[in-house]
Amino acid sequence: MQIQVQLFSILRDCLAERAGARGGQASLTLPEGTTLAELIVHLGIDRRLGFQPSEVVDRAGWQVMVNDRFEPDVGRILHDGDQVRIFPPVAGG
């Protein structure tokens, strides 16, 4: 299956070596049934942040969107044509 991935901030480096990646964006071919957690491992996001895949959202505070909707469940199964965006934690006040 094909998915579109866009990474922000320090995670852009996780796509730097991917063929066709540009500006923190890439099209990836993954096996059917791949979960968000598996995508996080596939891209090395867990190693880059120093968290287990299950902690990237809950503990580290990174925001994940699938098809323009926030997705807190890294166990979510991805489907052909999905668009995934991963943003850094937001702070403000």
What pLDDT is stored for residue 16 in this prediction?
78
**Domain covering 2-87: architecture:** Roll (3.10)
Ordered by start, the domain boundaries in the chain are 2-87
Q: Is the pLDDT score of 90 beyond 80?
A: no
Q: What is the mean pLDDT of residues 62-78?
A: 96
Amino acid identity, residue 42? H
What pLDDT is stored for residue 17 in this prediction?
74
What pLDDT is stored for residue 35 in this prediction?
97
Q: How far apart are the first and last CA of the chain?
A: 41
What pLDDT is stored for residue 30 in this prediction?
96
Report pLDDT digits (tens) over 18-46.
777 888 899 999 999 999 999 999 999 99
The count of C-alpha atoms lying within 13 angstroms of the C-alpha of 13, restricted to the half-sphere facing its C-beta, is 8
Three-class SS state of 7: strand
Q: What is the mean pLDDT of residues 57-66?
A: 92
Residue 3: name the closest of 26, 23, 35 by CA.
Answer: 26
